[in-house]
Structure 1
Amino acid sequence: MAHLPAQITDWFSTRGWSIHPHQYAMLDRAQDPATLLIAPTGSGKTMAGFLPTLAELAEGTHEGLHTLYVSPLKALAADIKRNLRAPVEDIDLPIRIEDRTGDTTSTQKKRQRADPPHILLTTPESLALLTSYEDAPRMFAGLQRVVVDEIHALAESKRGDQLMLALARLQTFCPGLRRVGLSATVEDPQAIARFLACHPDPCNIVLADPGPDPDIAMLETEETPPWAGGGAAYAIPAVMEQIKAHKTTLIFHNTRAQAEIFFHNLWLANENALPIGIHHGSLDRQQRERVEAAMVRGDLRAIVCTGSLDLGIDWGDVDLVIQIGAPKNVKRLVQRIGRANHQYNAPSKALLVPANRFEVVECVAALEAVKAHALDGDPRGDGPRDVLCQHILVAAAAGPFVADDLYAEMSSAGPYAGLSRDAFDACLDFCATGGYALRAYDRWQRLMQRPDGSWQLRDPRAAARIRMNMGTIQDTDTLKVRLKRNRGGKPLGEVEEAFAASLTPGDTFLIGGQIVRYEGLREMTVEVSRNAAKKPKIATFSGTKFATSTQLSNRILDMFAQVTWPQLPRHTAEWLALQRHVSTLPERGRLLIESFPHDGREHACIYGFSGRNAQQTLGLLVTKRMEELGLHPLGFVATDYATLIWGLDPLTEPAPLFQIDALRDGLDTWLAGNAVMKRTFRGCATIAGLIERNTPSARKSGRQATFSSDILYDTLLKYDPDHLLMKITRDEAMRGLVDFGRIEEMIARVGTRIDLRRLERVSPLAAPLLLEVGKVPVKGSAEEKLLQEESTRLMEASGLAQVSER
């Protein structure tokens, strides 16, 4: 066990704190090659990761960098620096602590490379950049330990793959380097341990006492949830009462758009003028920092937010978390719940607010999953090859390398432990020549072999361009939004380029919780003025949509199989009972399809329960199959649980529509020339280094980058369809954007067990999808009134009028 100096134990004692068992366990394992600590939020897991470092540095004999701390968020690194400096300064330990992120000045960065601190706090992108310099071996020469915080969040994205490749590089510099991973929410500890390990060395797992179960329930409201929609405006009065009754409340949303709309409505209802803020990734950095600073001071009573506050920043005064809308994912919900009562052995308090009637069912399923400690998550696949290509270029920027050595280094990283030599060589050839169809162009001839067989950059000046384009976070083609002034007014945030292109002068929209009027576009900046309207003409820019996890979908289907539903509110239980009476409820292992006429069109509702992306893809593929079979589909709409298709002909024989080979062929044809595939190609090609977003002279706009990537995509599709980047793009699209794997899983699960129910009218479960359709053409001030009229009409048509009044 690592010795803990008396001055550190005395510091704990003076504060009335005791060292927890899991913190002692991390001291015991201080010399292990890799250790994963899973401990609840507020249990001191970050201190547990740093205790061995503080113990070793307290001796005052170590020179240079000792411990590297890596987190997914710049704000989290700054928060840890603030919290870590307290004991260091109180005890007067001879330890320098600094952070290095995109916000660090160039002067500080240069000094850190020449004279690194004892503890450096950084992000995956900044670390990868540091490894690309020739002097990296000297900077990291004395490195003893790496602490990776919120490792579960990094493991879910390419940022984690990039980080593990960077750690493999550090392990080459420092063979005795020890790795520590910290997380509160891990559904598969062994998988995360393999991700963190330097193969073939093992990674040990330390499990802390999970503490008390969270105090979590559904918010009770006087008004019942609507049949469709995602704003949860009906719950505003009840949410405001909860804000008044607590110190600080975090109100989480699944999209930035929903957060903006809810914040606006909440502010209109804020008769007592309570201090309420909004925080999400599209807001201007200074505005986010002001909100964070106000949080630290305890000045805010509530913060409407998105995933930007998911991770472990320590907001001590938060005593309530409210999740607006179904959480879609149990692990994400648990992570958000942990933001309340951020202390050991204190139960977190959270309330769920379903946005519509179906989400009531999903919220109850999520509550049951949390109580059962059943986290969800998809198994990790192999490390993506576009990140591998980028790392090869990063290695080349640092100096010549031997292919055998680089392959051994990369295959020691957890995500790439199964990397074959052929796959590595294909990536190396791509980095060197651009691949078969592009090797005739000098701009993609980036690497060359030296007489001794090692590899180096063909042009040493390319190292700077490689560094300028490093990273795996892909821009969403955003434009800055500023108040219109002669010389450029106050920055408000960013909107997607596609959204800006749709605006005309006079349009009003929400950003930062305020309504603004679009004045024009100048020098790639959206200029706006403040507007006193009570409702924006256009709600807001688009935002990320999460898909309901497989586990939650299965729990919902299991709930449908119950005879009665005592755990559901009366109005929702009666809704499901009416569905069972009018039609039937979807079952696990079977596929329910309802066919019915409505408004002079034939409709078919397919209950796949496969998540929004997969259901959207299913709509595309099934309508294509319907056309091939002589049916006449006109359109479709998808939710997390169903796809509704309308057309001219009734569906009488569904089996031919779900032949997996035909669907796969249809997907390949559709993907080849589709914008989804081109957008995916652009992202992969940018990460792999084929396309540069940043050049020494200027940064390309999203439109310029799209134009150049589209030309490349069309060229490769025509002349080299088996090009490495085309294969990477297809894998990426299949796994993420179209989620075809869940369609395959659904079809394999149901086989030939397809139940077609022909109904005389819309069923209770299908009615919300018709409301989704009805919302599309309805705009302006009459939107809510028309939507309510449409809702009432549909409810009456399906026999739901009486239920909707309860």
Structure 2
Amino acid sequence: MTDASASSLPAPLARWFADRGWAPRQHQLAMLEAARAGRHALLVAPTGAGKTMAGFLASLVELIDKPGDGLHTLYVSPLKALAVDVQRNLLGPIAEMDLDIRVETRTGDTPHNRKVRQRQRPPHMLLTTPESLSLLISYADSANLFADLKTVIVDEVHAFATQKRGDLLSLSMARLQTLAPGLRRVALSATVADSQGYARWLAPDADADSVTIVTGEAGAEAEIEILLPEDRVPWSGHSGSYATEQVMEIIAAHKTTLVFCNTRGLAELIFQDLWKANGGELPIGIHHGSLSREARRKVEAAMARGELRGLVATASLDLGVDWGDVDCVVQMGAPKGASRLLQRIGRSNHRLDEPSKAILVPGNRFEYLEARAALDAVAERELDLDIFRLGSLDVLAQHLMACACAAPFEEAAMLAEVRSAAPYRDLPSAEFSRELDYIASGGYALRAYDRYKRLASDVDADGQTIWRVSHPKFEKQHRLNAGIIVDAPILDVRFKNGRKLGTVEEYFAATLSPGDTFFFAGMSLEVLGIKDTDLTVRASSRPARIPTYVGARLPLTTHLADRVRGFLANPAEWAAFPEDVEEWLRVQSEKSVLPKPGELLIETFPHEDRQFMVAYSFEGWNAHQSLGMLVTRRMETAGLKPIGFVANDYSFATYSLERVRDPAPLFSPDILEDEFVDWVQNSHLLKRAFREVAVIGGLVERQHPGKRKTGKQVTFSTDLIYDVLRRYEPDHLLLEAAWADARTKLTDVGRLAGLLDRAADTMVHADLPRVSPLAVPVLVLIGREHVAQGTVDDALLIEAEALAEIAMEGV
């Protein structure tokens, strides 16, 4: 491969760079050279390094050198907002070079008439999402649409490669490779730790050697600081709302500040707090995935025009979006991962040669340690490892149905194509046949019902099995219901005139009555009534609640957990901490124990006529929720009379009437062999997981033509089918898929198993006369397990200080 240089660019591109006094960066030219050699490419480069130009450079060169009318480049983004942002950033240079290159987006927000036109007369570059691409593949004209496709660009590949959306995208790329055999694949990311793993995911047939891996030059070191309160770091809470006044001062001191929150509920809370502190003086906004398309687009346009001084956002804006005037990022609460923090920091001063500026606002003392751990990890470029897994069976079922909607397919050829997608490389032939039988019949227990017979098969003259859609109605049904993201059942929030503000989850809406108020879309809303799938509201000035959302917690990564444990075991580090945090750790070491890396500390102590046991395992909220449930069941069997348990990312605490004398039997690894299986199979976790896989796998529809099912209807349908399958076909494909989901996503069973495996050899039991300083953050959660995440009320703070006074007694 020869070295590329700026002189190798076509004249319009060369002039465009020269007119701005720029020169292509070396990694951009390396990506161009890989394209000219016909190789797939993975670019790992820091934020602000020009990854978008690097990804599209070869396409621009090819379209300048050889203009055409068909679809040349397909860009796939994890976020709708990112696709819109990339379109805006491409259209400017294309217009400045006076090039006849059409660039359009296609997402769930795209009007229907434009989608129809795009299939008839596609743009040269189409920017889309995995779900919209899968729908495009389902049309009969997809073979013609993609026949001349030259390049597919996967942006922010780390955001979905290891998840179900990545399974769908990998299968879609396998289909595109069949339709356009010369297709070249490109992936971009700033936060990839295992480049070889991502190269295998990207390449056809999982051949990493066919991928050129390009590493971008390092950028300026980020400037990160931790915001400390004016008095003391709080004992408990997650929002960081104590720092509202300080955050408003930060917003006032910068051009534009992005304030990131880990959940939608927390975003609404922080926006309200900032709005009150702001007094309406500075223009600030809010952005999250539950807001309506119009609300999100309005905020995005205002940001692009530089009209907002502050924007409160969730993960809906933390991937790749380039807001030119953002010069500061604030993270409310702990970031939960170094890679996530690096992504969010990169939204500030989105240029390679200027340092990004970020301020972390920890919600409590453990979160202060976590913030320090994240800061150190970013400084050392230690990213969170991603674990690649086998492809999901429900996603494969959806993809096969999409392919059948486009045209009949031959079974053996389709199996070979599916195996060219990395997550399904080792899919057994028998499992593939089982997938097809499921789509064709619904499975043994459901085959008597015609509604589940979506595919039919024939044998051609060569003896090959051909699969086709059994009736045209199933094609429309598939396109109405396809998708990988299965949110909790939702209701539309609307004013009386029909204007939609966004959505709230049905279980939250069920707690509301006419006259109640809640904060949403940055305003206080009064409930007028609920009918079908609409929650009708009007604006109000009364105090209001914050909406809560199911499954909104971000997991604490293993790397950050290990770093926090390292802080606890190294007193030499404490001098750099705030005085009250240092005192907290010092008193804990005097009155109890601080766990060393790898140790499992168990504390037992009495408090207010109850007996407490606190386990400090640092394995994250999901694992702690599961283990807390299992341990309390064992306590019940042992006659310890447990009352309940609470958990956070760092520990979990049980409280009972009888004291735990020996905790070791409660943590033996065999708890996963019988009790865990029994608990999951008989809990809401498996039913919830089954609802998701049943929707993704096409067994249950969310929508009918002109009507969307309510959450209750979907839940009723899936629960009924679940009970039938559990009784008559316990080895049904979707039950297996649901079990796999429940073990991983909902319970974090991998971390749970690791914890139990080491518990016997690493357990340290501290039997104490009173509550310890380290236990205070988790104990104050008792009685508040269902309070909206991020809400920190005066009562909680008062209780935390009262507990702390007992724990720190004698200091």
Same fold (TM over 0.5): yes
Letter aligned with residue 74 of structure 2: L
Matched, 1:474 2:486: yes
Aligned to 1:298: 306
Residue type of the alignment partner of 2:472:
P
Partner residue in 2 for 1:394: 402
Q: Report the counterpart of residue 131 of structure 1 in structure 2.
A: 137
Amino acid at match of 1:358: F
The answer to whether structure 1 residue 576 and structure 2 residue 576 are counterparts is no
What SS does structure 1 have at the residue aligned with 2:704? coil
Partner of 1:760: 769
Quick check: 1:732 aligned with 2:737?
no
- Greater shift after overlay, 362-371 or 665-674? 665-674
SS at match of 2:774: coil
Partner of residue 24, structure 2? 19
SS in 2 for 1:530: strand
Indicate the SS of the match to 2:52. Answer: helix
**Partner amino acid for 1:356?**
N
Alignment pair present for 1:741 and 2:746: no
Q: Distance in 1 between matches of 2:58 and 2:50?
A: 14
Cα distance between partner residues in 2 of 1:520 and 1:706: 22
Alignment of 1:17-166 (within 5 A): 17-30=22-35, 31-166=37-172
Aligned equivalents of 1:432 and 1:182: distance in 2?
38
Distance in structure 2 (CA, Å) of the matches to 1:466 and 1:777: 36
What does residue range 330-729 of structure 1 map to in structure 2 within 5 Å? 330-452=338-460, 453-483=465-495, 485=496, 487-488=497-498, 490-533=499-542, 535-536=543-544, 538-542=545-549, 544-564=552-572, 565-729=574-738
Query: Which ranges of 4 or more aligned residues in structure 1 deviate by more than 6 Å?
Result: none
Unpaired segments ≥5 residues, structure 1: none
Measure how far apart 1:200 and its partner are. Answer: 5.0
Deviation at 1:233, TM superposition (A): 2.2
What displacement does 1:511 show?
0.9
Partner of 1:744: helix, strand, or coil?
Answer: helix
Q: Distance in 1 between matches of 2:593 and 2:686?
A: 37
SS at match of 1:640: coil
SS at match of 1:381: coil
Asked if structure 2 preserves the Cα contact closer than 8 Å seen for 1:677 and 1:729, the reply is yes
Per the alignment, residue 202 of structure 2 pairs with 196
| Counterparts of 1:106 and 1:766, CA distance in 2 | 55
CA contact (8 A) 1:589 1:750 kept: no
Letter in 1 for 2:282: L
Check conservation: 2:646, 2:785, Cα contact below 8 A.
Answer: no
CA distance in 1, matches of 2:224, 2:635: 45
Alignment partner of 2:703: what SS?
A: coil
Kept in 2: contact 1:223–1:234 (CA 8 A): no
Q: How far apart, CA to CA, are the structure 1 residues paired with 2:56 and 2:377? A: 32
Say if 2:328 and 2:349, in contact at 8 Å, map to a contact too.
Answer: yes
Once residues 706 and 612 of structure 1 are traced to their aligned partners in structure 2, the CA distance between those partners, rounded to angstroms, is: 25
Letter in 1 for 2:110: T
Distance 1:493 1:396, change over 3 A: same
Aligned pair in 2 of structure 1 residues 598, 200: CA closer, same or farther (>3 Å)? closer
Alignment deviations for residues 42-88 of structure 1 (CA, whole Å, 9 cap, x no partner): 11111111111111111244331111111112222222122112222
1:364·1:567 contact (CA, 8 Å) conserved in 2? Answer: no
CA deviation map 1:710-761 (0-9, x unaligned): 0000111111111111111000110001111111011223333322211111
State the 1:124 CA deviation. Answer: 1.1
Give the counterpart letter for 2:494 in structure 1.
R
Q: Would you say the 8 A contact 2:235–2:800 is kept in 1?
A: yes
Q: TM-score, normalization: structure 1?
A: 0.96
Query: Displacement, 1:800?
Result: 5.4
Letter in 2 for 1:5: P
Superposed counterparts of 1:237-248, under 5 Å: 237-248=245-256
Contact 1:680/1:732 (<8 A) preserved: yes
Deviation of 1:420 (Å): 2.1
Higher mean alpha-carbon deviation, 793-802 vs 157-166, is at 793-802
Following superposition, the deviation at residue 157 of structure 1 comes to 2.6
For the residues of structure 1 that align with 2:278 and 2:563, how far apart are their CA atoms?
A: 37
Residue 425 of structure 1, CA deviation: 1.9
The yes-or-no answer on 1:173 pairing with 2:182 is: no
C-alpha contact 1:223 1:235 (8 A) present in aligned 2: no
The C-alpha deviation readout for 1:512-570, integer Å capped at 9, x for no partner, is 2222222321342112232223x42x333236111211111111111111133123111
Please give the alpha-carbon distance, in whole angstroms, between the structure 2 residues aligned to 1:43 and 1:556: 31
SS of the residue corresponding to residue 526 of structure 1 reads strand
Q: Is the 8 A contact 1:655 1:752 kept in 2?
A: no
**Distance 1:120-1:800 versus aligned 2 partners, 3 A rule:** farther
Pairwise CA distance, 1:791: 2.4
Structure 1 residue identity aligned to 2:130: P
Which whole-Å deviations, capped at 9, do the CAs of 1:424-472 have from their partners, x for residues lacking one?
2221221122112122222212222213221112223322211222110
Q: How far, CA to CA, are the matches of 1:59 and 1:776 in structure 2?
A: 62
Tell me, yes or no, if the aligned pair for 1:774 and 1:787 is still in contact at 8 Å: no
Closer, same or farther: CA 777–482 of 1 in aligned 2, 3 Å: closer
Q: CA deviation at 1:146?
A: 0.8
Contact 1:252 1:321 in 2 (8 A): yes
**Aligned pairs for 1:265-344 within 5 A:** 265-271=273-279, 273-344=281-352
Find the aligned partners of 1:783 and 1:553 in 2 and give their Cα distance. Answer: 24
Measured in 2, the distance between the counterparts of 1:196 and 1:799 equals 54
Greater mean alpha carbon deviation, residues 677-686 or residues 109-118: 109-118
Which letter does structure 1 place at the counterpart of 2:468?
Answer: Q
Q: Specify the code of the residue in structure 1 equivalent to 2:474.
A: A
Instruction: Check conservation: 1:479, 1:496, Cα contact below 8 A.
Output: yes
Distance in 2 separating the partners of 1:666 and 1:601: 26
1:560 maps to a residue whose letter is L
Going from structure 1 to structure 2, the CA distance change for 1:378 and 1:54 (only over 3 Å counts) comes to closer
Pairwise CA RMSD: 1.8
SS at match of 2:773: coil
Q: Distance in 1 between matches of 2:691 and 2:549?
A: 20
For 2:804, give the aligned amino acid.
M
Q: d(CA) in 2 for partners of 1:785 and 1:161?
A: 45
Supply the AA of the counterpart residue of 2:410. Answer: V
Deviation per residue, 1:278-308 (Å, 9 max, x gap): 1111122211111111111111111111111
Equivalent pair of 1:60/1:94 in contact (CA under 8 Å): no
- Output the CA distance in 2 between the equivalents of 1:175 and 1:755: 59
**Secondary structure class of the residue paired with 2:274:** helix
Q: Quick check: 666-675 or 703-712, which moved more?
A: 666-675
User: Is the CA contact (8 Å cut-off) linking 2:87 and 2:127 kept in structure 1?
Assistant: yes
The SS at the match of 2:603 is strand
Mark the runs of 5 or more structure 2 residues left unpaired by the alignment: none
CA separation of 1:8 and 1:574: change in aligned 2, threshold 3 A = same
Note closer, same or farther for the CA distance 1:511–1:200 as it changes in structure 2 (3 Å cut).
closer
Post-superposition offset of 1:96: 2.0
